[in-house]
Amino acid sequence: EYLQYKKDETNHQMITNKEIIEMMKEPEESNIKEPEIPIISNYKVLIALNQVIAYMKQKSDKMDFSKDQIRVLKKMRKVVE
């Protein structure tokens, strides 16, 4: 038994080379929006570092913060000042 179909009902169109190339292209960078990184002032960084240093000193007996780790943060604070 054979299947019968009307020849004009089929729609097998080949895509063009241009369409193939467009499908393979990387999206343009201008279309990709990266989130903007907010500008953080030195003042805010100093406040944050001071808070972290104070926290580490308070918790050093309960948590395993070494003096070297606190020293690194103090050095970072001097760089920002």
C-alpha pair distances (Å), 1 with each of 10, 17, 18, 34, 61: 20, 39, 41, 60, 87
Query: According to the model, what pLDDT value does residue 56 have?
Result: 87
At residue 78 the predicted structure's pLDDT band, cuts being 50, 70 and 90, is very high
The pTM assigned to this predicted structure is: 0.51
> Would you state the structure tokens that stand for residue 28, as one six-digit string?
């343009």
Is the four-CA dihedral 66, 67, 70, 75 of positive or negative sign?
Answer: negative
Query: According to the model, what pLDDT value does residue 29 have?
Result: 63
Q: Convert the pLDDT of each residue in 10-57 to its tens digit.
A: 566 788 888 888 888 876 666 667 788 899 999 999 999 999 999 988
Query: According to the model, what pLDDT value does residue 7 have?
Result: 63
Query: According to the model, what pLDDT value does residue 30 have?
Result: 61
